[in-house]
Structures are given as structure tokens and as C-alpha cells.
């Protein structure tokens, strides 16, 4: 039986705005789905459908209003130590430029997670690990280390951020619109890299996008959010063999 990474049950998130006359915005409404080990699950939806809110809740950056998320073996996500969880679950975000401090060389963002989680490593071990990971994502250490963010293209910076996530050997990678700010000609390269990460490293991937064509290219499952989601049905997609089902959440 395939191990479940996430069991999301009746997840709801409501934001309140205003001071004197508050109004409520339902970002997620009664969302239920599972993620198995080794899945590439795409979460697809239009702007405002709740995709990024769902990602933030899965990353423990937001708390749900109601519902439950069980992680690996049925442990409630709220009870898991953040430090342990954030080593096992890493993220890559939409804007690669915003992920870097322009006054620091890219070495800083690569060394930080290793020094945080693997403080026993020597400087030589850190360099070797970074070099190996950069090569995996298609970059050379000799052409990457020692440079500032402005010296790289958006595609190169996103590869560096993916390398940063891989350095701590995560079990899950949450990629929130990782190719939306990259030239269209380079998007397929990042998608192929994510596919290799899944196949060669066995990392479960949650790929968030508004583009159904990108989702259909990379995923084996697709979760479609519409107005926060409420009920869901399953549709078999026969056109692409790599996709076996679409989960559609309707408001």
C-alpha cells in the first residue's frame, strides 16, 4: 500500500477584513484530498481560487480556520515541530528575484540551510554538497558561486533556489508557480528538472499553477480549485498517459 504523505480533510480558511465592519473572505471551503508518496500533484486554479493559501497552510505559514491535515502516518500537522517539518518539506516560490538579498552573493542562500540543519559538516563538505546539487540542477559551481543575484537570469536563479531546497534532502517539494516569471522558452527545462527530482530522488512534488497545460505535462494527479473548492469528483483523462486523474473541486 502506498504511503500517504498528506491527508487533507474538510480544510477551510476564512480571512476577516476591516476594523469596524468586518467582512469575511472564504479562501478555502471544505477541501478534501490525499497526496501519496512519490506523487506529482498539480494544484490548478484561477487567481483567487485558494491555491497559494493552500500552499501556505501546508507550509505551516497560515493556520486553517477548520479542518485537519494529517502528515505521514496520520500525525496532525499542527503537532509537528516546525524545524523538523521544514527540513522535510521545502518550497520554491514564484519570484526568484525576491528570494535573494541583492547585497549577498548566492553562496549565502545555499550555505544557510546546510549550516542550519547539518552544522557538523566541514566547509569542504558543504562545498562538495553544493557543487553536486548545482550540477544536478544544471549549473556549474565554478560559474555560480561567488556571484551576486543580478548576474543571473530568472531561470538560473530559480535553479539555484531549487538547489537550495534539495540541499537538505527533503521528502516533499512545494513549488508555487515556479515558472510563471520565467521566459516561456525556458519553462519546459524547469518542468523537466522537477520531473527528474521526482523520478531520480523520489521527492513528492506539489506543483501550483494557473496553467492546466503545464499541470498536464508534469503531473500524475491534478487538483482543480474553483472558488475555494467544496465538493469534488474524479474524471479520467485518457489523452496523456502520465495523467491518470483530475480531481475537480467546485464551490
* 226 falls within a domain: yes
* 164 falls within a domain: yes
pLDDT at position 226 is 77
Other Cβ atoms within 10 Å of 42 Cβ, number: 27
* 7 falls within a domain: no
pLDDT at position 40 is 95
Query: How many domains, in total, are found in the chain?
Result: 1
* 13 falls within a domain: no
Could you read off the pLDDT of 61-74 as tens digits, one per residue?
Answer: 999 999 999 999 88
* 12 falls within a domain: no
pLDDT at position 1 is 63
* 97 falls within a domain: yes
* 121 falls within a domain: yes
| Domain span including residue 218 | 38-60+83-250
User: Own/partner pairs for 108-115, CB < 8 Å, 24+ apart?
Assistant: 109/160, 109/161, 109/164, 110/134, 110/145, 110/160, 110/163, 110/164, 110/167, 113/164, 113/167, 113/168, 114/167, 114/168
| Blockwise average pLDDT, block size 10, the chain, 251 residues | 89 84 85 94 88 94 94 92 95 88 93 92 95 96 95 93 96 94 86 95 95 90 74 36 42 37
Beta bridge partners of 68: 9
CATH number at residue 179: 3.40.50.300
pLDDT at position 183 is 82
* 179 falls within a domain: yes
Other Cβ atoms within 10 Å of 30 Cβ, number: 18
Amino acid at each position: 500500500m502506498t504511503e500517504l504523505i498528506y491527508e487533507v480533510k474538510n480544510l477551510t480558511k476564512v480571512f476577516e477584513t476591516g476594523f469596524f465592519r468586518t467582512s469575511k473572505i472564504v479562501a478555502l471551503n471544505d477541501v478534501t484530498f490525499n497526496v501519496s508518496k512519490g506523487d506529482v500533484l498539480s494544484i490548478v486554479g484561477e487567481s483567487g481560487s485558494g491555491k497559494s493559501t493552500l500552499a501556505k497552510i501546508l507550509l505551516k505559514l497560515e493556520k486553517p480556520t477548520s479542518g485537519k491535515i494529517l502528515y505521514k502516518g496520520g500525525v496532525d500537522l499542527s503537532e509537528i515541530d516546525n524545524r523538523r517539518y521544514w527540513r522535510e518539506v521545502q518550497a520554491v516560490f514564484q519570484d526568484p528575484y525576491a528570494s535573494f538579498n541583492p547585497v549577498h552573493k548566492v553562496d549565502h542562500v545555499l550555505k544557510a540551510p546546510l549550516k542550519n540543519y547539518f552544522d557538523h559538516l566541514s566547509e569542504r563538505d558543504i562545498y562538495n554538497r553544493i557543487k553536486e546539487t548545482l550540477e544536478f540542477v544544471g549549473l556549474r559551481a565554478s560559474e555560480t558561486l561567488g556571484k551576486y543575484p543580478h548576474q543571473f537570469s530568472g531561470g538560473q536563479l530559480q535553479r539555484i533556489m531549487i538547489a537550495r531546497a534539495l540541499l537538505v534532502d527533503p521528502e516533499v517539494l512545494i513549488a508555487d508557480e515556479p515558472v510563471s516569471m520565467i521566459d516561456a522558452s525556458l519553462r519546459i527545462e524547469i518542468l523537466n528538472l522537477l520531473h527528474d527530482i521526482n523520478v531520480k530522488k523520489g521527492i513528492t512534488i506539489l506543483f501550483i499553477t494557473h496553467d492546466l497545460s503545464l499541470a498536464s505535462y508534469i503531473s500524475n494527479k491534478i487538483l482543480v480549485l474553483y472558488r475555494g473548492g467544496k465538493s469534488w469528483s474524479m474524471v479520467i483523462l485518457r489523452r496523456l498517459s502520465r495523467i491518470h486523474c483530475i480531481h475537480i473541486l467546485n464551490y
